[in-house]
Amino acid sequence: MTTILEVNGLEKRFGGVVAAQNIGVNVSAGETIGIIGANGAGKTTFVNMVTGHLAPSAGTVKFLGANIVGWPPRRITELGLCRSFQVPQVFLSESVFDNVLLAYGIAEESGFSMLRPLRNKERDARVRKHLASYQIAEHEKTAASALSQGIRKLLDIAMATVRKPQLLMLDEPTSGISVEEKFDLMDIIMAALREEQTTVMFIEHDMEIVQRHVARVLAFSQGEIICDAPTAKAMVDPKVVEFVLGQEYHAEVRSDA
Amino acid sequence: MVQLLFTILTDGLIYGSYLFIVAVGMTVIFGVQRVLNVTHGSFYAFGAYLAAYLGGIWYDHELPDFGGFVIIFLAAIVVGVFFGILIERGLLKHLYGKDEHIVVLATFAAFLALEGVGLFIWGTDPYFFYQPQAMLGFVEILGMTYDYYNLSLIVLALIISLAIWYFLSRTIWGRLLRAVIFDREISQAMGVNVTAVFLGTFILGTTLGALSGAAIAPTISVLPGIGVEVIVLAFAVVVIGGMGSIPGALIGSILVGVVRAAAVHEFPQAEMFVIYAIMAIVLVFRPEGLFAPPAVRKI
Amino acid sequence: MSFDRTIIGVTIAVVLMACATFFIPDWVRQIGLLSMAIGSVALGLLVLWRTGLISFGHALFYGFSAYGVALLNHLGVRDAFVLVIVSAAASGLLAWGLGFLVRRYRAIFFALLTMAFSMILYGVLAKTERFGSTDGLNIHPPTFLGYAPVDQAAQITLFLFGLLVVYGLMLGVQIYLRSVLGQMTTAVRENEIRVEYLGYSVEHVIHIKYVISGLLAGFGGAIMALAVGQVDPESMAYWTASGEFVFVAILAGTGNVAAPFIGAVAFEIIRHFAWEHGANLWQLIMGGTLLAIIMFVPDGIWSVLQRLVRKKDGVK
C-alpha cells in the first residue's frame, strides 16, 4: 500500500495553551480510519491543521509527497485532500442541485475554462448521479436551508467528494443527528465512498459506528495521539478505555438521559 | 519656519475641530446602532439653515448680539429632537437587523428626500448669519489673523468630547449605553430598554449633527447642498478614527485637520483629496481604524 | 432555456431601438443615450451586488474613463471606437490594480474603501488645471471609422454606436454570469469557507468581478462623455454620482442583464420630467422612490415585470 499522508511532529499552540502536540501518523491509500477522543482532545484541531484551516505551530504534513503546511485550503483541495465540516458548510439559499452543481463546476474547470457555462447536460447528469449515490436526489430542488440536519450533512459530504479526493476527512459526520438516523446516515456515506474507493478519516463519538465502519483507530487525548491501532485492539487498549471510552460512555449516558 | 508650523497647527486644529464636531454625531450613532447614517448631512444642513433663518429675524429686529449664540444651540436642539424622532421612529425602526447596505441606502434615500424638503422650505437663495463671528472679532498671532469665533470651535470640540466622555464613563445612562454597544442581545435580556437607548442615542447624534451645522453657519454662506460634502467628510472621520470610537474620532479629526492644513499651505493640489487618501490608507492598513478597541467591534 | 430567452429578447430590443432611433425626437434619443451610459455602470454594480458587494465609489471608473475620453480627444483622437475602448480598458486596468486591495474587504468596508478611492479621483480632477479643474473639459464631436456626421446625424450615429457597445456588454455579461466563474455569486456571499474548500479562491472571484465591474463603469463613463460632449468632476466623479448608480441598480434589481438599462431609462425619464419642475421636486421624487423600492420592492423593477409576466402565463 502506498502512503498518501505523512504527518510528523504536528503541534498547535494558542498562546500558552497546547491544543495539539507530537502528532505523527501515516495513512495509506484505501484505509478507513476513525478518529476518537473526548471533546477538546484535539481531533478537530488535527483535521483543521491537515486541511489548511489552521496553521500549525510546528511539524510537517506531507500529502502525496508534497509538504502542504502553509498551503491555502484551495490548493490542498485541488491536490486531492477534501473535507466536510461538523456544521455543514453549504450555500443555504441555493437548492441541493445547485450546491453540488457549483461544486462540480469548480472541480472540473480551471483558468479560462471557468468561463464556460456552468450548466450542461453532461454535468447535470453527473450531478444527478452523485446526488443519487448519497440518496439525496429527491431533495434536488429544496433549498439547503430547508433541509433536515441529516440531509444537510449528506449534502456537505457530497460536495466534499465531487473531486473524487485521494483522502477525505469528515469532521463528526453524525453529530447533531438522532440515534435512529445516524446508522443509516453512516451506511449511506460509507457505501458511496466505497464505490469510489476513497481513503477516509472521520471523527466519531459513537463506538458502535466506529466498530462497524473502520479498520483502524486514532485515539486523541489532551492534544496527543494516545493510541493508533486496528479497531479491535484499540477498543481494549487501557489508555483508550481510561481516557476515551470512559468519558465517551459518560457523555452518551448524559445525552441520552 | 516657526510661523509656518504654527499656522499649520492652528489651521489644522480649527479644521480638525470642525471635522470632529461634524462627525461626532455620526460616530455616536454608528457606535451604538451600527447604522452609517447618511441623513447626518441633512441634520447639518437643517441646523445651519434654522440657525441662519432665526438669526436673520433676530438681527433684523436689532436684538442684542449675544442672542445669536443662544439661537445656535436652540436651532440644534429643535432640529435634533424633531428629526431624531422622525427618522428613528419613522425609518430606522423598520430597518434594524436588516442588511447593513440596505440601511445605508435607506438613509441615503431619506437624505435625498430631505434635501428636496429643505429646498421647499428655504429656497435656493443663500442665508447669512455672520453676526456671531463679527461680534467676537479677531486676534493677530505671529502676524496671522484669526477669528475668535473659529478658535472657539476648538473649545466647542473640547467641550463636546469632555461631555461625551463624562456621560459615557460617569453616568448610569452612559454605562447602559456601553452595555448595549458591547452586546445588544445580552443587554436586552438583562432588562435594558434597547428601544429607548437607540432612540435616545439617535436624538443625541442628530442634535450633534444639527449643532455642527448651526455652529458652522456663521462662518459660511448657508446654501443648498452644504450637507452633501459633510456626509463623506464624516464617513472619512468615522473610518479613520475607528468605527464608533469617540476618542478615535477626536484624534483622527485633529490628525486629518493638521495634514490638510499642511497640504493647503505646502501642496494645495492635494487639499481636496488628502482626507480620502488618509481614509484609504487607514482602510488598507488598519481597517478597524486607528483607535477602535478591537474587542468591542463585531463587524 | 432562459439563456436563449435573454439573448433573444435583448437582441430583438436592440434591433427595434436601432430602427426606432431614426423616428424619435432628439430629446428622447438623448434620454436613450444617457440611459445607456448609466445602465452600463449599473450593470457593473449588478455583477458585484449578486455577490453581496456594493460599491459606493463606481464614479471612480466612470469618471476616470470619461476623462480618458476627454484627454485623448484633446490629444487629437477623434474616433469613437478608439476613445471608448481605450478609456474603458484604462478603467478596467485601474480596477485590476485597486482590486488587489479591494478584494480583501466585504460589506460596509468594501463600500467605504471604494468610496474613498473615488473621492481621491474627484479631489485630483477638481484641483488639476490641466483637467479644467471644477469646470472640466469639452469634447469635440467624435468620428466613427472616418465617418464624421454633424447635427442630428451625429446624435443618431452615436446612438447606434452606443447600442452596439451596450449590446456587446450585455452579451458578454450574460455569458459571464452563466459561467462557472460568474455563478459564484450566492456561494461567495453565503459561505466563503466552502468555496475555498471546493478549490477556488474567493478573493480571485471578487477581483475578477471588480475588474469586470470597473470595465463596465468605464464604458458607461465613455459613452456619457461622448453623449454630453463634456466632462466635469462634480457630475462625473463626486460621490453623489456613485449614489445615483446605486440608486439605478436598486431601482432595476439584479434579476437580468437587461434590468439595469430598464432601470436607467426609468431614472432618466423621471429626471427629465422632474427637472422641469425644479431641483427640489427631483430630489424628493428620487428619495421617495428609493425608499419605496427598498421598503416594498427590494428586488427592483425587474422582479415586478417578472411577476406580471408570470401572472399572464398563469392565466393562459
DSSP type of residue B287? T
pLDDT for residue A247: 56
Min Cα–Cα distance to chain C from A5, Å = 18
Q: Which triple of cell numbers denotes residue A183?
A: 446508522
Q: Which residues of C touch A85 (CB under 8 A)?
A: 193
Which of A106, A110, A116, A120 to mutate: most C Cβ within 10 Å? A106
Q: Which residues of C touch A78 (CB under 8 A)?
A: 199
Q: Do A91 and C194 touch (CB under 8 A)?
A: yes
Q: Which residues of C touch A162 (CB under 8 A)?
A: 198
Cβ-contact C197, A82 below 8 angstroms:
yes
Q: Do C197 and A163 touch (CB under 8 A)?
A: no
Report d(CA C222, CA C37) in Å as an integer: 8
Q: Which triple of cell numbers denotes residue C168?
A: 456587446
Kindly state the average pLDDT of the residues B217-233: 88
Q: Which residues of C touch A83 (CB under 8 A)?
A: 197
Task: Look up the CATH architecture of domain B2-285.
Answer: Orthogonal Bundle (1.10)
Across the interface, which of B91, B105, B113 has its CB nearest the CB of C284? B113
pLDDT for residue A105: 92
Query: Nearest-CA neighbor of B210 among B87, B35, B63?
Result: B87
Q: Which residues of B touch C54 (CB under 8 A)?
A: 101, 105
Contacts of C222 (CB under 8 A, 6+ apart): C65, C66, C68, C69, C83, C84, C87, C88
Q: A112 pLDDT band (50/70/90 cuts)?
A: confident
Q: B179 pLDDT band (50/70/90 cuts)?
A: confident
pLDDT averaged over every residue in chain A: 87
Task: Flag residues of chain C having pLDDT under 50.
Answer: 1-2, 316
pLDDT for residue A170: 92
The phi and psi torsions of C243 (rounded to 5 degrees) equal -60, -40
The phi and psi torsions of A92 (rounded to 5 degrees) equal -60, -35
pLDDT at B298 over 60: no
Q: Do B280 and C116 touch (CB under 8 A)?
A: yes
Kindly state the average pLDDT of the residues B248-266: 89
Q: Which residues of B touch C117 (CB under 8 A)?
A: 276, 280
Q: pLDDT tens digits for B111-124?
A: 999 998 988 888 88
pLDDT for residue C313: 67
Q: Which triple of cell numbers denotes residue C281?
A: 421636486
Kindly state the average pLDDT of the residues B44-67: 86
Q: Do B272 and C111 touch (CB under 8 A)?
A: no
Cβ-contact C159, C2 below 8 angstroms:
no
Q: Do C123 and B299 touch (CB under 8 A)?
A: no
pLDDT at A127 over 70: yes
Q: Which residues of C touch A106 (CB under 8 A)?
A: 180, 184, 195, 198-200
Helices C26-49 and C59-74 cross at an angle (nearest 10°) of 130
Q: B294 pLDDT band (50/70/90 cuts)?
A: very low
In this structure, the strands spanning C137-138 and C230-231 are antiparallel
Min Cα–Cα distance to chain C from B64, Å = 35
Query: Nearest-CA neighbor of C79 among C218, C232, C227, C226?
Result: C226
Q: Which triple of cell numbers denotes residue A92?
A: 443555504
B120 to B86, B125, B214, C275: CA distances (angstroms): 18, 11, 19, 14
Place of cell 459518560: A250
Q: Do A91 and C184 touch (CB under 8 A)?
A: no
Among B24-33, B48-57, B281-290, whose mean pLDDT is lowest? B281-290
Place of cell 423621471: C270
Cβ-contact C164, C80 below 8 angstroms:
no
Q: How many residues does chain B have?
A: 299
Complete DSSP assignment for B122-162: H-SS-B---HHHHHH-EEEETTEEEEHHHHHHHHHHHHHHH
Q: Which residues of B touch C106 (CB under 8 A)?
A: none
pLDDT for residue B135: 75
DSSP SS3 for B289: coil
Q: Do C123 and B276 touch (CB under 8 A)?
A: yes
Min Cα–Cα distance to chain A from C176, Å = 6
What percent of chain A has pLDDT above 70?
95
pLDDT at A256 over 70: no
pLDDT at B107 over 90: yes
Q: Which triple of cell numbers denotes residue A85?
A: 465540516
Min Cα–Cα distance to chain B from C69, Å = 23
Query: Nearest-CA neighbor of A212 among A185, A237, A238, A239?
Result: A185
Q: Do B109 and C128 touch (CB under 8 A)?
A: no
pLDDT for residue B297: 36
**Neighbour count for residue B131 (Cβ, 10 Å):** 19
Report d(CA C240, CA C225) in Å as an integer: 17
Q: What is the 3-state secondary structure (H, E, C) of chain C?
A: CHHHHHHHHHHHHHHHHHHHCCCCCHHHHHHHHHHHHHHHHHHHHHHHHCCCCCCCCCHHHHHHHHHHHHHHHHCCCCEHHHHHHHHHHHHHHHHHHHHHHHCCCCHHHHHHHHHHHHHHHHHHHHHCHHHCHHHCEECCCCEECCECCCHHHHHHHHHHHHHHHHHHHHHHHHHHHHECCCCCCHHHHHCHHHHHHHCCCHHHHHHHHHHHHHHHHHHHHHHHHHHHCEECHHHHHCHHHHHHHHHHHHHHCCCCCCHHHHHHHHHHHHHHHHHCCCHHHHHHHHHHHHHHHHHHCCCHHHHHHHHHHHHHHHHC
Q: pLDDT tens digits for A25-43?
A: 999 988 999 998 888 888 8
Cβ-contact B22, B219 below 8 angstroms:
no
Q: Which triple of cell numbers denotes residue C165?
A: 457597445
Domain ranges of chain C: 2-238
pLDDT for residue C57: 92
DSSP type of residue B293? -
Complete DSSP assignment for B152-196: HHHHHHHHHHHHHHHHHHHSHHHHHHHHHHH-HHHHHHTT--HHH
- What sign does the CA torsion over B171, B172, B173, B174 have? positive
Q: Do B105 and C250 touch (CB under 8 A)?
A: yes
Q: Do C183 and A118 touch (CB under 8 A)?
A: yes
Min Cα–Cα distance to chain C from A79, Å = 9
Q: What is the 3-state secondary structure (H, E, C) of chain A?
A: CCEEEEEEEEEEEECCEEEEEEEEEEEECCCEEEEEECCCCCHHHHHHHHCCCCCCCEEEEEECCEECCCCCHHHHHHHCEEECCCCCCCCCCCEHHHHHHHHHHHHHCCHHHHHCECCCHHHHHHHHHHHHHCCCHHHCCCEHHHCCHHHHHHHHHHHHCCCCCCEEEECCCCCCCCHHHHHHHHHHHHHHHHHCCCEEEEECCCHHHHHHHCCEEEEEECCEEEEEEEHHHHHCCHHHHHHHHHHHHHHHHHHHC
Among A93-107, B180-194, C131-145, C202-216, whose mean pLDDT is lowest? B180-194
First to last CA, chain B: 44
Among B15-19, B123-127, B131-135, B238-242, whose mean pLDDT is lowest? B131-135
Min Cα–Cα distance to chain C from B35, Å = 10
Report d(CA A153, CA C211) in Å as an integer: 36
Across the interface, which of B276, B283, B287 has its CB nearest the CB of C119? B276
pLDDT at A68 over 60: yes
Which of B35, B38, B112 to mutate: most C Cβ within 10 Å? B112
Q: pLDDT tens digits for A148-207?
A: 888 999 999 999 999 999 999 999 988 888 888 888 899 999 999 988 889 999 998 888
Q: Do C184 and A116 touch (CB under 8 A)?
A: no
Chains B and C in direct contact, meaning 3 or more beta-carbon pairs closer than 8 angstroms:
yes
Which of C120, C189, C234 to mutate: most B Cβ within 10 Å? C120
Q: Which triple of cell numbers denotes residue B84?
A: 431624531
Q: Subunits that touch chain B (at least 3 Cβ pairs < 8 angstroms)?
A: C
Q: Which residue has the higher pLDDT, A247 or A183?
A: A183
pLDDT at B88 over 50: yes
Domain A3-80+165-256 has CATH 3.10.50.40: no
Q: Which residues of B touch C240 (CB under 8 A)?
A: 228
Q: Do C116 and B113 touch (CB under 8 A)?
A: no
Contacts of C129 (CB under 8 A, 6+ apart): none
pLDDT for residue B141: 78
Q: Which amino acid is at B178?
A: R
Domain ranges of chain A: 3-80+165-256, 93-164
pLDDT at B208 over 90: yes
